[in-house]
Amino acid sequence: MKQVPWIAPSILAADFAKLGQEVEAVLKAGADVVHFDVMDNHYVPNLTVGPMVCQALRKYGIQAPIDVHLMVSPVDSLIPAFAQAGATYITFHPEATNHIDRTIQLIKASGCKAGLVFNPATPLNYLDYVLDQLDMILIMSVNPGFGGQSFMPEMLKKIKAARGLIDAANLPIRLEVDGGIKIDNIGAAFEAGADTFVAGSAIFETPDYQKTIESMRSKFNI
C-alpha cells in the first residue's frame, strides 16, 4: 500500500560547513526525513560522511527520521555504528554485501528499519526472498556517487514494477526514488508509485526551501 508521501532532502547538496542549520532549515521548510548519503570511494567513486556526522546531527537536536543510504562495501561493519549514531532507516546496495539476508537481519537487530537499493541496471529479483523483511525499497534514478545528475526516465517503469510487488504482497514498504528528482518530474515518479522522494540539488540549490518543497508537494494528486 502506498504510504503518505515524504520529501527527503539529501544532505549531499547541503552546505557542509553549516550542516546542522541546513538540516534544521529544510525540516522547518516542510521536509519529512533527512536523506544521509554515505560514500566510501570504493563502492562508489566519491567520499562523504560517516556515523560521527549522523550522531552530530542528533546531538544538534535533529529529531526527524534519518534515512541512511549506504553506498559502501563491505556494509555490515557500519551498521551498528550508524544504529548507535541515531539512524532510523539503513538502506544498502545488494551488490555491496556478500550476504544480503544477513545484512538485513543485522540492520533490524540493531533497531533500525531496513531497505534495499537498486542501481539503474540492478534487477528487482533481489527482492524475491526478502521482500517481507523490508521497510523500504529505493530505486536509483541515476548511477550512485554524485548529486546533480539527470533523472533517468526509464526508471519509471522500474518504480511501477516495484509498486506492483509491494501492493501484491500488501506490505507497508516505502518506495523511495533517488537521483535527479525535481519539481518537473516528481509528479511522474509519484504516478509511477513512489511515495518517498529524495531531492538534493533541487532543494538545496534554491533560495527558498519552503517554496520548493511546497511546489514538489503540489504535484502529488492525493
Point out which residues bind Zn ion (CB under 5 A). Answer: 37, 69, 178
Q: Name which of ligand DX5, Zn ion, none residue 149 binds, using a CB cut-off of 5 to 8 Å depending on partner kind.
A: ligand DX5
Which one from 32, 67, 135, 178 is the annotated catalytic residue? 178
Which segment (101-109, 141-149, 154-162, 213-221) binds ligand DX5 by CB under 6 A?
Answer: 141-149
Considering only 51, 86, 179, 193, the residue that binds ligand DX5 (CB under 6 A) is: 179
Total of residues contacting ligand DX5 (CB under 6 A)? 21
Q: Which long-range contacts (CB under 8 A, 24 or more apart) does 52-56 make?
A: 52/85, 53/19, 54/82, 54/85, 54/86, 54/87, 55/84, 55/85, 55/86, 56/19, 56/20
Q: Which is nearer to ligand DX5, 7 or 127 (CB)?
A: 7
Q: Does residue 178 carry a catalytic annotation?
A: yes
Cell 533481489 maps to which residue?
Answer: 126
Q: Which is nearer to ligand DX5, 192 or 199 (CB)?
A: 199
Q: Which is nearer to ligand DX5, 201 or 210 (CB)?
A: 201
Q: Name which of ligand DX5, Zn ion, none residue 5 binds, using a CB cut-off of 5 to 8 Å depending on partner kind.
A: none
Q: How many residues does the chain have?
A: 222
CA distance 22 to 70: 21
| Binding interface with ligand DX5 (CB under 6 A) | 10, 12-13, 35, 37, 69, 142, 144-145, 147-149, 178-181, 198-202
User: Which positions are catalytic?
Assistant: 37, 178
